[in-house]
A and B are shown apart, each in its own frame.
Chain A
């Protein structure tokens, strides 16, 4: 049945009360999170909120689809009364004044926000090491990075500290920690989920999405947060989405794309795990089709130019005058690096030398992915080209950015991408990425569900 449905069922049947579920989570966090460091702050009202859900269940009143589940929220998403620090000293005293739309939707369905998850500072990182509140450990491979930037969410789910998490993904920030921590993570199609209430890294690339212990949990959470709202204008005109009803349809007759480019960019040990999963899909009746993505890797540096310009623009409000501290005075190296790069590009942007050129490369990567997805239903491949490094290893910025080679193109094209555990190399999880068409989440979830069942 899977962890999420089992938990929901036992809460609905009264075998586990919503209040006990919250207390268990708090006890586990108290016991385990000193070492993992996946939470920055806990919600002091979580037990009271669970009591309200419990009372409704006892009275036989209608409850939402997430009733009693314990949810962690990344620290760049506003939750009323909790600090939205983005794991930075810039905003270490900033208390959210409102709930982001996604948080309102989670609460409306009975989800209990247990606290705020740790992350790379301002989502600028792929390792979980750059938080001002200290690094997050990987419960699935202790001593190794959990990936980032949604490091706390990935680690909290892997350690069983909460039921579901909300992360954000600009260039792989949900999928990368999902892969390293052996859990499920989804970057929805750009424009499917409202970003209102998100403190952005790159406004043309960011999406909020689920991190979960299983595919059902990710699908349920995405069903909850997706759909248009009047608070967000950069959205598809989509009211409601349904994924669960088609999850069990299998992959027979589906066309699944694989690209030789993935092998060029990926550690052979990681690729071996992915190859075995592709074989499973073939055995289950999927047609495996080669697709060409010749310029895939060129997306990496184009992305870092685009995101730096958007980040530079987005952070000009952190001037320390209205709230918080001036960002350049207190931020870490990677945040400063992106601000300086963004400033430099903005100053030197004459005759379309850098930013406009990067937007053209974005067009190229998008065109290639769209052409490939016309031939197939989904594209499968590795999520991260290498295994997570151990804490203490010194990587240059370019070596660190290389973690994102395979996840960035999904954001540049605005398509959806989901990650499910495919296997392990030396005890370290390896996640398989399923990329789907624009609003192609139903097919993406079907493939993920099949792979999860056969893992």
Chain B
């Protein structure tokens, strides 16, 4: 596993190195974070979803929890540094 991880790290580094090489002669430019600057970034608040949809959402949402107690509450890992 350690060997495999080392190989993955090496190939990750290879891409970075080849990028640095490919970009070394290029001019300084403004960075492009998103391809367009004319997006509709202001949006109104929507109507809440119908009651039935919200109830089913909650049921499904809870079913994805990794652990729950007998009342359906989310059971989470207690951090190691917490004193009990």
A residues whose Cβ falls under 8 Å from a Cβ of B: 80-81, 93-98, 190-191, 204, 228, 230-231, 233-237, 295, 297-298, 301-302, 304-305, 308, 320-324, 333, 336-338, 340-341, 344-345, 354, 356-364, 366-367, 396-398, 401, 412-415, 438
A93 to B63, CA, bound (A): 10
Residues of A within 8 A of B26 (CB): 295, 298, 360-361, 364
Which residue of A has the minimal Cβ distance to B9?
A340
Residues of A within 8 A of B35 (CB): 190-191, 204, 366, 412-415
**Do A337 and B8 form a contact, CB below 8 Å, given A230-B46, A298-B23, A321-B77?**
yes
Would you call A341 and B16 a contact (CB within 8 A)?
yes
Which residue of A has the minimal Cβ distance to B59?
A97
Give, as a whole number of angstroms, the nearest-CB distance from B58 to chain A: 9
Would you call A191 and B43 a contact (CB within 8 A)?
no
Number of interface residues of B (CB under 8 A): 45
Would you call B66 and A95 a contact (CB within 8 A)?
no
Would you call B23 and A97 a contact (CB within 8 A)?
no
Encode contact with A along B1-31: 1 for CB under 8 Å, 0 otherwise: 0001100110111111011101100111111
B residues whose Cβ falls under 8 Å from a Cβ of A: 4-5, 8-9, 11-16, 18-20, 22-23, 26-36, 38-44, 46, 56-57, 60-61, 63-66, 74, 76-77
Would you call A97 and B11 a contact (CB within 8 A)?
no
Give, as a whole number of angstroms, the nearest-CB distance from A227 to chain B: 11
**Do A397 and B66 form a contact, CB below 8 Å, given A354-B19, A361-B26?**
no
Which residue of A has the minimal Cβ distance to B64?
A323
Residues of B within 8 A of A413 (CB): 35
Would you call A191 and B15 a contact (CB within 8 A)?
no
**Do A301 and B15 form a contact, CB below 8 Å, given A190-B36, A236-B39?**
yes
Would you call A236 and B8 a contact (CB within 8 A)?
no
Which 6 A-B residue pairs are closest in the complex by CB-CB distance? A414-B35, A359-B31, A301-B19, A341-B12, A97-B60, A323-B64
Query: Can you list 17 A-B contacts (CB < 8 A)?
Result: A80-B60, A97-B60, A190-B35, A236-B39, A237-B38, A301-B23, A302-B19, A333-B4, A337-B11, A344-B9, A354-B20, A359-B33, A360-B26, A363-B29, A363-B31, A398-B18, A401-B15
Would you call B32 and A359 a contact (CB within 8 A)?
yes
Would you call A361 and B23 a contact (CB within 8 A)?
yes
Would you call B30 and A363 a contact (CB within 8 A)?
yes
Would you call A322 and B66 a contact (CB within 8 A)?
yes
Would you call B64 and A94 a contact (CB within 8 A)?
yes
Would you call A298 and B22 a contact (CB within 8 A)?
yes
| New A-B contacts (10) at CB < 8 Å, excluding given A236-B40, A344-B16, A360-B32 | A97-B60, A191-B35, A191-B39, A304-B15, A308-B12, A322-B74, A360-B23, A360-B31, A361-B26, A363-B29
Would you call A301 and B29 a contact (CB within 8 A)?
no
A190 to B57, CA, bound (A): 29
Would you call B32 and A366 a contact (CB within 8 A)?
yes
Would you call A396 and B11 a contact (CB within 8 A)?
yes
A257 to B64, CA, bound (A): 50
A357 to B16, CA, bound (A): 11
A295 to B24, CA, bound (A): 13
Would you call B16 and A345 a contact (CB within 8 A)?
yes
Give, as a whole number of angstroms, the nearest-CB distance from A146 to chain B: 24
Give, as a whole number of angstroms, the nearest-CB distance from B7 to chain A: 8
Residues of A within 8 A of B57 (CB): 97-98
Residues of A within 8 A of B60 (CB): 80-81, 95-97
Residues of B within 8 A of A354 (CB): 16, 19-20
**Do A233 and B11 form a contact, CB below 8 Å, given A298-B26, A363-B31?**
no
Residues of A within 8 A of B5 (CB): 336
Would you call A323 and B36 a contact (CB within 8 A)?
no
Give, as a whole number of angstroms, the nearest-CB distance from B42 to chain A: 8
Would you call B23 and A93 a contact (CB within 8 A)?
no
Give, as a whole number of angstroms, the nearest-CB distance from A207 to chain B: 10
Which residue of B has the minimal Cβ distance to A439?
B36
Give, as a whole number of angstroms, the nearest-CB distance from A71 to chain B: 21
A308 to B11, CA, bound (A): 13
Give, as a whole number of angstroms, the nearest-CB distance from B14 to chain A: 7
Give, as a whole number of angstroms, the nearest-CB distance from B73 to chain A: 13
Residues of B within 8 A of A397 (CB): 11, 14-15
Residues of A within 8 A of B76 (CB): 321
Contact of A341 among B15, B31, B63 (CB under 8 A): B15
A358 to B39, CA, bound (A): 22
Would you call A362 and B66 a contact (CB within 8 A)?
no
Which residue of B has the minimal Cβ distance to A338?
B12
Which residue of A has the minimal Cβ distance to B60?
A97
Give, as a whole number of angstroms, the nearest-CB distance from A349 to chain B: 11
Would you call A233 and B15 a contact (CB within 8 A)?
no
Residues of B within 8 A of A323 (CB): 64-66
Would you call B65 and A322 a contact (CB within 8 A)?
yes
**Do A95 and B63 form a contact, CB below 8 Å, given A298-B26, A333-B8?**
yes
A369 to B20, CA, bound (A): 22
